Amino acid sequence: MILSNTETIPGYTITHHVGLVQGNTVRAKHVGRDLMAGLKNIVGGELKGYTELLEDARKEATQRMIEEAQAKGANAIVNVRFSTSAITAGASELYVYATGVVLG
Amino acid sequence: MLGFGISAILLLVGVYFGTRAQKQHIANLESREAALSHIIVTNLKTLPATGNPPQLVTGSVVIAFDYFRRFIATFVMLVGGRITMYEEMLDRARREALLRLLEQADAAGSREVHNVRFEFSRVGSSSQKANIGGGAELLAYGTAVL
């Protein structure tokens, strides 16, 4: 599966569009991690626990998108866009969407 | 009085460790940027034809809005104007996210990354209330070509 956030891929022709493919996941914070984040809020700097949490979540969302594309018969995903939104005080939604295509 | 004392201690701790960490981080960023300067980065939508399939690369970082910065920002907001500390903080975070993206591209053997996009979002315990902490995520993503 080829993933790209560009609209076209040089050297390949898009022969068929399978439509919008998407994946999302909502992750809640962890109490331990939030405690560390509270300390970091005094001195500033990176919140490593959160970085890892969101990276894992984004991988999962991407994986779901890939599964959907495979189910629809696509062999590539183009124009990938990521979006994150805080839905409640302790949880974020990671959303990834793109167009599934068949490359010739 | 006690509350004031605690605030003062938190401020001093924040200033001291925050400034030290910032200096170290900038030095760290500069050396890593120099090491990865051979990679071409653009935000152009079209990829050069290389014959190899491209690869999606990402880099992200979550930063804390610390006590000291929020304290100073409260004062600046009375009169308006630039909040230089936040500018620096966001700049550092964005550079860090881009470097993580480049490290991923470099590991894949790529020499060019195109269509780089940045996303910003608030996360953490207090995302609804900007004045009481929490953090923000900066995400960079793009397409690496081989």
Contacts of A55 (CB under 8 A, 6+ apart): B58, B60
Q: Are B134 and A84 inside 8 Å of each other by CB?
A: no
pLDDT range class, residue A35, cuts 50, 70, 90: low
**Domains of chain B, CATH where assigned:** 2-145 (3.30.110.70)
CA distances for B31 relative to B25, B28, B41, angstroms: 10, 5, 17
Whether pLDDT at A36 is above 90? no
pLDDT range class, residue B130, cuts 50, 70, 90: very low
Report residue B117 as tokens: 């996009």
Q: How many residues does chain B have?
A: 146
Domain hosting A78: range is 2-103
pLDDT range class, residue B127, cuts 50, 70, 90: very low
pLDDT tens, B72-88? 888 888 888 888 888 88
Report residue A98 as tokens: 């793109």
Q: In terms of CA atoms, which chain B residue is nearest residue A28?
A: B124
Residue scoring higher pLDDT (A94 or B15)? A94
**Residue B94 pLDDT:** 94
Whether pLDDT at B129 is above 50? no
Measured between CA atoms, how close is B135 to chain A, in angstroms?
8
**Residue B131 pLDDT:** 46
Domain count along chain A = 1
Q: Are A29 and B124 inside 8 Å of each other by CB?
A: yes
Residue scoring higher pLDDT (B7 or A51)? A51
Q: Are A3 and B55 inside 8 Å of each other by CB?
A: yes
Measured between CA atoms, how close is A14 to chain B, in angstroms?
13
With beta carbons less than 8 A apart as the criterion, state whether B106 and B39 touch. yes
With beta carbons less than 8 A apart as the criterion, state whether B143 and A6 touch. yes
Report residue B98 as tokens: 């881009």
Whether pLDDT at B126 is above 60? no
List the CATH number of the domain containing A55: 3.30.110.70
Q: Are B13 and A38 inside 8 Å of each other by CB?
A: no
